[in-house]
Structure 1
Amino acid sequence: MTLEYILRVVVAGVCGALIGYERRSRHKEAGIRTHFIVSVGASLMMVISKYGFTDMGNWENVSLDPSRVAAQIVSGVGFLGAGTIFMNKQKVKGLTTAAGIWATAGVGMAIGAGMYAVGIGVTALILIVQFAMHGRSAPVLGAKTYTLSVSLVNHTDPVENLLKTLEDNEIYIVKLYSETTAPTQSNSDIPDTHIESEIQLKMEIKFPTSMRTSDVMLILQSQPDVRKIQLE
């Protein structure tokens, strides 16, 4: 019977990892490891809830209710999911990821309870809906990673404006580095020359295979704060 319990936890982990892979492919806050651990943990707690107290069955004045553990899993994962939700300029982000974590816990609970068909079926349903609703972004899964270096004029929110432009055009950032250079003056003979600093960004990006590097360059060149661009 122990092997059966382990099998339930393993299957739950695989289902959670599949859901997490879809989130990671879109560079969301919670990826494979988070969803894997949530699903495995929920499955383990369900197994313990159903079978971990069988030795107490003959105790007098002891009432066992496995559903109490399930209820605590649901409320506990709710707090975990809330950590992925944030607001930026009146726009809420992370809701889908939070809902995915909550649903992943449900998948783990179902498989931990021995309901393999339900857990696997819900996993497939979540993946189908997620990929269907992001159909245009699907080709980014196998896309090549490029290194992008950008120099920005340090005006009002230049980095935020650039990142929003990339997001709107389905250009995904894998890693991001930035630094601000000291103010420079291009012509020291003219005392009134405007002095301004620059922000140097270096990032690893991915974009759909249907998009060319020249398309990315045009998108970046259209930004007023961009001075220099190098895409490798």
Structure 2
Amino acid sequence: MTHLTFPVFPVYTQGLLLGLGLIVAIGAQNAFVLRQGLLREHVGLIVLFCALADALLIGAGVLGMGQALGDRPALARALALAGAVFLAAYGWQALKRARHASALTAASNGVPLSRLAALAQAAAFTLLNPHVYLDTVLLVGSIGAQHPPLLRPWFIAGASSASVLWFSALGYGSRKLAPLFARPRAWQVLDSLIGAMMWLLALLLLRQALWD
């Protein structure tokens, strides 16, 4: 029963914080979800698709990278170090964004979307963005693969929970959140928190790569 002593909660929390840090940013996908939430058009379908797509990509990344790195400890260590560098750079970019005013807006052309059209646009914003594969499959996958096999599902659950929480808040809470997202100051504070969070995760990953 040694698996009961595994640090489940820290691994879940690491996945959650990493997922939130990567997903909470001004971008086309978030603007689209916000727009659909404001218009109350197919919100549940859009939120479900975006969250499920992230979960599948994260799971594929963690499990695929785990299998690929299973017998290659040197490669696993190298990817962990590369991930730490990436997170540090990502955090620095977030802190740089915090110095400049910006806001998330949801432009609307007034033409309602059909369910199929809304789903197609959600798929395009999600799957045709090359950064989604860098974030979910490579970065999240390589970090999640550093954990023992029994803990990887908890890491996947944590990272996937971030997508569920964020897209649900963005879609269903858009009416209340839109004024906040339209304020550049709010994004400056958020980017500052993201930057600090990414640096903390980078330090933890660096320690794991060098001393574990």
Same fold (TM over 0.5): no
Query: Which one has more relative contact order, counting CA pairs under 8 Å at least 6 apart?
Result: 2
Could you say which structure has the higher strand fraction? 1
TM-score, scaled to structure 2: 0.32
Q: TM-score, normalised by structure 1?
A: 0.30
The structure in which a higher percent of residues are helix is 2
